[in-house]
Chains A and B, each alone.
Chain A
């Protein structure tokens, strides 16, 4: 730790500005989102009709489940969906 005068402390404190609240909230909800995806994948394994609906229109199916169907969520889910049989 370097020596700190009060001016230097103040300058350093100014460097760490808050990130936008929405970003922080979204990152804090990552575990919930991942668990939500786990539930969807489980349902898709157990329910063939649901799985087909997901494969046919993933974005709409995600929106219906309360997820914002952004590209990352869609990609993550597409990778995890059980293959068509």
Chain B
């Protein structure tokens, strides 16, 4: 499932494949979460509503996606719009993000795009590399926690993180040499 492209996932989701839908949500859950919580600074209760609404609308309107490979910008656009609607609705209890700087938001989304590209490159690494890098960097687990979970000594955890990071960098450099042009999203 992890090796499927976004376009493959979209086609299979449209055909009613629930496993592919679960993979699509897994693949983009952090991205949508980051946009609402980090870029727009929505409180968790609003971010939860936005998160569910993004995926509900995505599921209902998958057939309106113009280019199946443009899932990422489409979801970003959808999340961005729903976050702005939430901020404007005035229904939230706290005034966080009332004067959200949309330029700053777009810069943040650009960084999340780049982070997501790195996550995608991680899918080409062996499972143990992807897991250890994710635990350490994204989940902020300590060497000790990772060591306990993976039954490894802390020193091995540290050296494995370093080796896997080097390997990931190598993957990204290879990808950079063969980079495809950026995609654009939108509705049909």
Are A28 and B22 closer than 8 Å at their CB atoms? Answer: yes
B47 to chain A, nearest CB (A): 8
Partner among B18, B29, B117 whose Cβ is within 8 Å of the Cβ of A23: B29
Q: How far is the CB of A54 from chain B (nearest CB, A)?
A: 21
Are B18 and A31 neighbours in the complex by a CB distance under 8 Å?
A: yes
B169 and A17 contact, CB distance less than 8 A = no
When distances are taken between beta carbons in the complex, the residues of chain B under 8 Å from A30 are 21, 52, 55-56, 59
Of listed A20, A24, A32, residue having the most chain B CB within 10 A: A24
A14 within 8 A of B: yes
Q: Which of A10, A17, A26, A28 touches B33 (beta carbons < 8 Å)?
A: A17
| Alpha-carbon gap, A12 to B118, bound state (A) | 8
Residues in B whose Cβ lies below 8 Å from that of A19: 29-30, 32-33, 51
- Determine the main DSSP class of B at the interface with A: helix
Q: Is the CB of B138 within 8 A of A14?
A: yes
Query: Which residues on A sit within 8 Å (CB–CB) of B118?
Result: 4, 9, 12-13
For residues 7 through 61 of chain A, which have their beta carbon under 8 Å from a beta carbon of chain B? Answer: 9-10, 12-20, 23-24, 26-28, 30-32, 34
Report how far A1 CA is from B110 CA in the complex, Å: 11
Q: Is B115 in contact with A12, judged by CB distance below 8 angstroms?
A: yes
A18 cross-chain contacts in B, Cβ below 8 A: 29-30, 33, 138-139
Can you list, as one digit per residue, whether each of B29-60 has a CB less than 8 Å from chain A (1) or not (0)? 11111100010000010001001110110010
- CB-CB < 8 A to B176: which residues of A? 1, 3
- How would residues 106 to 117 of chain B score, 1 for a CB under 8 Å from any chain A CB and 0 otherwise? 000001101111
Q: Are A24 and B21 in contact (CB under 8 A)?
A: no
**Which secondary structure characterizes the binding site on chain A?**
helix
In the assembled complex, the CB of A20 is this many whole angstroms from the nearest CB of chain B, namely 8
Give which listed residue, B48, B51, B119, contacts A16 with CB less than 8 A: B119
Which residues of A come within 8 Å of B, CB atoms? Answer: 1-6, 9-10, 12-20, 23-24, 26-28, 30-32, 34, 72
List of 10 A-B pairs having minimum Cβ-Cβ separation, nearest first: A13-B137, A19-B33, A27-B55, A16-B30, A12-B115, A19-B29, A1-B176, A15-B115, A28-B22, A27-B25
Instruction: List 20 other contacts, CB 8 Å, given A14-B140, A17-B139.
Output: A1-B117, A3-B176, A4-B173, A13-B134, A13-B138, A16-B116, A17-B30, A17-B33, A18-B30, A18-B33, A18-B138, A20-B44, A23-B48, A24-B26, A24-B29, A27-B51, A28-B25, A30-B59, A32-B18, A72-B52
